[in-house]
Amino acid sequence: MSDVDELVIAGEKFSSRLIMGTGGAPSLEVLDQALAASGTELTTVAMRRLDPSARGSVLDVLRRRGIKVLPNTAGCFTAGEAVLTARLAREALETNWVKLEVIADERTLLPDPIETFDAAERLVADGFVVLPYIGDDPALARRLEQAGCAAVMPLGSPIGSGLGIRNPHSIELIVEAANVPVILDAGVGTASDAALAMELGCDAVLLATAVTRAQRPELMAAAMADAVRAGRLARLAGRIPRRRYAQASSPGTPLGDYYSVG
């Protein structure tokens, strides 16, 4: 196996497949330590209620660590707001990348598929690299890819819920059909969730709360980095088929018999 197994989004390469969010950290210092431990190279920042020119903000932390900023449209309820937020972010941060997030309601924070699709079309037409956050819906994922999105980001379960991947089958269907990176976004509660996402064939995992609200964020960030890497390696290695009954791993035949090449 080649040592190089990079994540490529819109032609840009990342050696870490863990994308971090910044929400929920108790302090910038804790966030900084967690980001370092995660090894992430791409991190989302909510643009609402953030002045990119203000000194000492979360953006400074990311710049200092050389982490690429992925502005997101968190908190938007309509395609109109999301497009506006993306344009403001592009102007302020000089990036045409955007994580598109259009929320349907405050209780579930589930993405609104219709507003999301509408905004994605408009943003792609406007030259953005669009990474939409969506439900675990294979049909919508396919349509967004056709519309020109650079990746699709299905949820494992609702934002901040820590419920893990509730419908692994849907995630597999999305992965199977996709020709753009599939990034599992939202719902990761602990390391095994992140590993499972990668084993299912996702190209990357995006998480925030699982780390920022952990009792020891830095330690959990390190756990997530290992989990994403382990899950990726397992996917590449190819798991054995599940069997109903045991199959002895050492069937009593001397190794020599297998390798008797002479």
Residues that bind other proteins (CB under 8 A): 26-30, 32, 49-51, 53-58, 106, 160, 213-217
In whole angstroms, the minimum distance from the beta carbon of 89 to other proteins comes to 14
DSSP state of 201: T
The reply to whether 99 belongs to the active site is: yes
Of 40, 44, 58, 99, the active-site residue reads 99
Q: What is the dihedral of CA 29, 207, 132, 229, to 10 degrees?
A: 110
In whole angstroms, the minimum distance from the beta carbon of 188 to other proteins comes to 17
- Asked whether 136 and 174 are in contact (CB, 8 A), the reply is yes
| CB closer to other proteins out of 28 and 93 | 28
Q: What is the dihedral of CA 50, 55, 57, 58, to 10 degrees?
A: 110
CA distance to 68, 211, 230, 235, per residue, from 240 (Å): 37, 31, 16, 11
Distance CA 135, CA 157 (A): 8
Distance CA 242, CA 231 (A): 17
Neighbour count for residue 135 (Cβ, 10 Å): 18
Mention every residue, 6+ apart, whose C-beta is less than 8 A from residue 169: none
In whole angstroms, the minimum distance from the beta carbon of 208 to other proteins comes to 12
CA distance to 15, 30, 150, per residue, from 12 (Å): 10, 28, 11
In whole angstroms, the minimum distance from the beta carbon of 75 to other proteins comes to 9
Distance CA 109, CA 226 (A): 28
In whole angstroms, the minimum distance from the beta carbon of 113 to other proteins comes to 22
Which of helix, strand or coil describes residue 119? helix
| CB closer to other proteins out of 10 and 219 | 219
Any idea which residues carry the catalytic annotation? 99
